[in-house]
Amino acid sequence: MKNYIYLDNAATTKASSQAIAALNRYSDAMYYNPSASYAPALEVKRALSEASQTLASLLGASKEEIIFTSCATESNNYAFECGIKNKKGNVVVSATEHASVYESALRLKNKGFEVRFVAPNSDGTITPQNILPYIDSNTAFVSVIHCSNETGAVNDISAISSTVKKISPKAVIHSDGVQAFCKIPVNVSKLGVDLYSVSAHKVGGLKGVGALYVKKGFNMQPFIVGGGQQNNRRSGTENVCGIIGFAESAKACRKKAENFNGKFFRDIFIETLKGNADFIVNGNKENSGYILSLSFRGLRGEIISHLMEDRGVLIGLGSACSTHIRTNRVLDAMGVEKAYSNGSVRISFSPDNTEQEIRYAANALKEAVCELNEKMKG
């Protein structure tokens, strides 16, 4: 197989050595069901408890507040299906959410809920000022993404939570933290959230594992019922190797993030393209540093992506969960002109990427765009 420079880390990351080790150990030597009562199974159960503690520590939570799921999409669906206490209250959701949140909100709307979508600023951020006109004393549930999966824009969830609680003290606050977790500082207590979703495969873990933080004292009915695993909060035999690998990978990812300067990589792309392409950067410079969203006037993102693949570089078009949709809902909400948004690509970095790779990729993108522009002139 061809060796590619991989710059679509917001879609998924390479499984870490810790994740592979957990997969091997808990699929082979320690394959026991943690619900069984014999000694080897109890050892597996203890390992799951330790994984819960590790993940909780990274979130600033306690292990009793962590529910493991099959993915962040399930976590987000769980939050919307079981997290709303006031069934007659209104629901406020940002227009920049991941598809799993946005579609969950639309499903509530179809069930008769009053759902209010908050438009972002032109840089993709959602601020308390954006939220204020949409909330009132009857607001029951608010969901705002922590870090945009499209642009890397980081929202001040703490300030948003504080603003909402002052107007509607009983409102439930949820945040999709998939692109924030282990990349920027996350402490759920300081964020003021009741519910927070994370994913394993965005931090070096295996696909098929996620988690939902549920604040202590928050009565959350189970989304999946059955054998009563995870203290009756999410039934189904636990994905042992995935969960343990998730915790260990997250710990390693957080450590790497401490010495990672993704904004340096972003600047290399931007400086390389300046004067060589008609493009805009979607979002502002104060984003997570892991995502760069670019839009090229008059071009098609899909064609740019294919030309980059021909040059040995893999980049994305946006959320991998919505690539079958031709328009980009988030960029539309930000007010990006169609002449640009149709030519959008998403470049997302990893601490494992090297400066040499980034410089090669940036020049490859410049060449691809120049090639397309020349063809259009002809």
Residue 132 to residues 116, 127, 161, 175, 348, Cα–Cα distance (Å): 12, 9, 11, 17, 32
- Is the alpha carbon torsion for 159, 181, 322, 69 positive or negative? negative
The number of beta carbons lying within 10 Å of the beta carbon of residue 304 is 22
Q: Which of 82, 147, 182, 321 is catalytic?
A: 321
Q: Tokens 């990812």: give the residue.
A: 253
- Is the alpha carbon torsion for 120, 121, 125, 128 positive or negative? negative
In degrees, to the nearest 5, what angle opens at C-alpha 286 toward C-alphas 282 and 289? 80
Please return the burial class of 367, using the count of CB atoms within 10 Å of its CB with bins 0-12, 13-18 and 19+: middle
Sequence length of the chain is 378
Can you name the residues that pair with 32 across neighbouring β-strands?
A: none
Q: Tokens 């977790």: give the residue.
A: 181
Tokens coding 51: 């994984």
Contact predicate 162/192, CB 8 Å: yes
The number of beta carbons lying within 10 Å of the beta carbon of residue 63 is 15
Give the separation between CA 293 and CA 281, rounded to whole angstroms: 6
Annotation says 321 is catalytic: yes
Give the separation between CA 30 and CA 192, rounded to whole angstroms: 38
| 288: nearest Cα among 314, 313, 268, 260 | 260
Catalytic residues: 321
